[in-house]
C-alpha cells in the first residue's frame, strides 16, 4: 500500500467492501478505497505500534490494539 512509510501489519475490509483499513509500524491507521489506490483518511495511534484492528458489523466503528495493551475505539 503506497502511503505507509513502514511495514504494514494488518489489513481489513469494511463490511460493504468499499474500503480497506490498514495499520502500520509507523503507528498509523489508514482508510483506503481500493479502486483509488490512495488513502482517504489517516489516524495516528499515539505512540505505540499497532497489532490488530476489528471493524464493527455496521462499519461505523473500528477498534485497534497495540503494544501498549490498550484498545482504542475510533
Per-residue pLDDT, 46 = 59
The total number of structural domains that make up the chain: 1
pLDDT in tens, 10-68: 889 999 888 888 888 888 888 888 777 665 665 666 567 888 889 999 999 989 888 88
Please report whether residue 72 resides in a domain: no
Please report whether residue 2 resides in a domain: no
Residue numbers of the domain that contains 18 = 8-67
User: Measuring CA to CA, how many Å separate 55 from each of 5, 6, 60, 73?
Assistant: 23, 22, 8, 10
Please report whether residue 74 resides in a domain: no
Amino acid at each position: 500500500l503506497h502511503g505507509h512509510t513502514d511495514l504494514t501489519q494488518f489489513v481489513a475490509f469494511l463490511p460493504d467492501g468499499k474500503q480497506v483499513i490498514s495499520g502500520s509500524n509507523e503507528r498509523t491507521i489508514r482508510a483506503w478505497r481500493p479502486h483509488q489506490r490512495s488513502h482517504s483518511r489517516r489516524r495516528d495511534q499515539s505512540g505505540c505500534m499497532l497489532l490488530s484492528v476489528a471493524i464493527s458489523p455496521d462499519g461505523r466503528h473500528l477498534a485497534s490494539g497495540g503494544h501498549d495493551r490498550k484498545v482504542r475505539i475510533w
